[in-house]
Amino acid sequence: MRIGVCIARPGGKEVPVSRLATTLPSGFLPMLRHTSDRRTALWAFVFFPAIGFAPYVEPRVIPWILPLSLYFGFCAGVFSHNHNHSPMFKSRRTNAFYSAWLSVFYGYPTFAWIPTHNLNHHKFVNKAGDATITWRYSKRNTWLVASTYYFVSAYWQAGPLKEYIAKAKSGNPALYRQIATQWATLVGVQFSLLAIGWLTHGWGRGTLVWAFGFAIPALFAAWSMIFINYIQHVHCDPWSEHNHSRNFVSGLGNWLVFNNGLHTAHHESAGLHWSKLPAAHAKIAHLIDPALNQPSIFGFVMRAYVLGALSDKFRTKQVGRAPYDPPGGGEVKLETAGVSAVEAGVNASMA
Ligand SMILES: [Zn+2]
């Protein structure tokens, strides 16, 4: 795969970013659990702040930098997700630091993934009990439903979040300290970044450089994670062994988003490191309904929402059995399942 970004020149030769991990000296970043996360570290610790500060250094890059900022915002969401399933570092303390660091770029404390995603969404997979069900108010998949799903999902995630925080507060002081640290880091760092903008560029332009550098990408990070959760499950069959999720299988797309498109394999082995998802997907790809292996997210969005607005034939159709149609029949209650007290001790950085 050709990626047009070259960032190192050992011996005068350019090295594509995609090959960087294999060309670094052995033992580089030995605190990582997986060597493939050298690229994650490059994105998180170099590109995230570099793109964030670019408008501070040269305000004229606004708004041209927006596509890059949104891309890195999306990656901040992906990294928060990955880190909560499979912690990036060997040490508990470094994992806690990374969680707080990511919280700044994700725009929300990353612990939130544990109660609403790991302990809830992965358990119920868009069936009743899942706080993030795609079919709560509408069973149709239109751009209006998909783009506003953020507000529905965020509202209904508040219940398990509050419950998790309350249980941590009463029974797990170490976890509660981590939650408080993530909140304090997020709020403290974002306000400091805004203040740096004011000090260097004045009130108006200072607010603008902060907004384009850090605030909009962070807001997009949370919105895009909820959006992708929607399109990865809407009109899928949660009762089926392999048709419970929609995949986006393009190689370049998955390189860019750290294999976040391979959602079936992720659900079937949630703790599997992102770098191992392509091999896991290859084993089950032929068992997945072809409609649920979409080439790219952009193609899907164009077809389902742009062409779909013109004609029904481009919209998604329910594959197999709908989540609100249990095989045994019976009433479907839309209550979100509780987070158990025991589970409230589960946290990536506590590993
Ligand atoms: Zn997950």
- Whole-number Å distance between alpha carbons of 15 and 12: 9
- Look up the pTM and report it: 0.88
Ligand 1 centroid from CA 317, angstroms: 24
Identify whether residues 202 and 346 lie together within a single domain: yes
- Whole-number Å distance between alpha carbons of 296 and 228: 12
Ligand 1 centroid from CA 26, angstroms: 30
Ligand 1 centroid from CA 274, angstroms: 10
Q: At what angle do helices 216-231 and 143-171 cross, to 10 degrees?
A: 100
Q: Is pLDDT above 90 for 11?
A: no
Nearest-CA neighbor of 253 among 118, 74, 44, 63?
74
pLDDT value at residue 16: 46
Ligand 1 centroid from CA 286, angstroms: 22
Ligand 1 centroid from CA 236, angstroms: 16
Ligand 1 centroid from CA 78, angstroms: 9
Ligand 1 centroid from CA 118, angstroms: 6
Ligand 1 centroid from CA 13, angstroms: 38
Identify whether residues 11 and 47 lie together within a single domain: no
Domain assignment of residue 47, yes or no: yes
Identify whether residues 55 and 195 lie together within a single domain: yes
Q: Is pLDDT above 60 for 19?
A: no
Domain assignment of residue 37, yes or no: no
Are residues 107 and 219 in contact, defined by beta-carbon separation less than 8 angstroms? yes
DSSP for 227-270, written as a single string: HHHHHTTTT--TTSSS-SS-EE--HHHHHHTTTTT-HHHHHHTT
Ligand 1 centroid from CA 229, angstroms: 9
Strands 293-294 and 15-16: unpaired
Domain assignment of residue 311, yes or no: yes
Identify whether residues 285 and 153 lie together within a single domain: yes
At 116-167, the pLDDT tens digits run 999 989 998 898 888 888 988 889 999 999 999 999 999 999 999 999 999 9
At 42-84, the pLDDT tens digits run 999 999 999 999 999 999 999 999 999 999 999 999 999 999 9
Domain assignment of residue 36, yes or no: no
Which range (33-42, 117-126, 259-268, 312-321) has the least confidence? 117-126
Domain assignment of residue 21, yes or no: yes
Identify whether residues 112 and 23 lie together within a single domain: no
pLDDT value at residue 288: 98
Count other C-beta atoms under 10 Å from residue 179's C-beta: 21
Identify whether residues 3 and 146 lie together within a single domain: no
Identify whether residues 160 and 193 lie together within a single domain: yes
Identify whether residues 46 and 19 lie together within a single domain: no
What is the identity of the amino acid at 311?
A: S
Instruction: Give me the percent of the chain exceeding a pLDDT of 70.
Output: 88
Identify whether residues 134 and 188 lie together within a single domain: yes
Ligand 1 centroid from CA 35, angstroms: 21
Domain assignment of residue 198, yes or no: yes
Ligand 1 centroid from CA 250, angstroms: 19
Q: Is pLDDT above 70 for 350?
A: no
User: Average pLDDT for residues 100-112, to the nearest whole number?
Assistant: 97
pLDDT value at residue 129: 87
- Whole-number Å distance between alpha carbons of 41 and 48: 10
pLDDT value at residue 91: 96
Domain assignment of residue 125, yes or no: yes
Identify whether residues 82 and 140 lie together within a single domain: yes
Q: How far is C-alpha 207 from the chain's CA centre?
A: 26
Domain assignment of residue 35, yes or no: no
Ligand 1 centroid from CA 175, angstroms: 20
User: Average pLDDT for residues 203-220, to the nearest whole number?
Assistant: 98
Domain of residue 1 covers: 1-30
Identify whether residues 151 and 25 lie together within a single domain: no
- Whole-number Å distance between alpha carbons of 268 and 241: 9
Total domain count for the chain?
A: 2
Q: Is pLDDT above 70 for 334?
A: no
Ligand 1 centroid from CA 270, angstroms: 6
Identify whether residues 150 and 287 lie together within a single domain: yes
Ligand 1 centroid from CA 272, angstroms: 10
Ligand 1 centroid from CA 65, angstroms: 29
Q: Between these two residues, 341 and 317, which has the higher pLDDT value? A: 317
Q: Between these two residues, 70 and 30, which has the higher pLDDT value? A: 70
User: Average pLDDT for residues 174-203, to the nearest whole number?
Assistant: 97
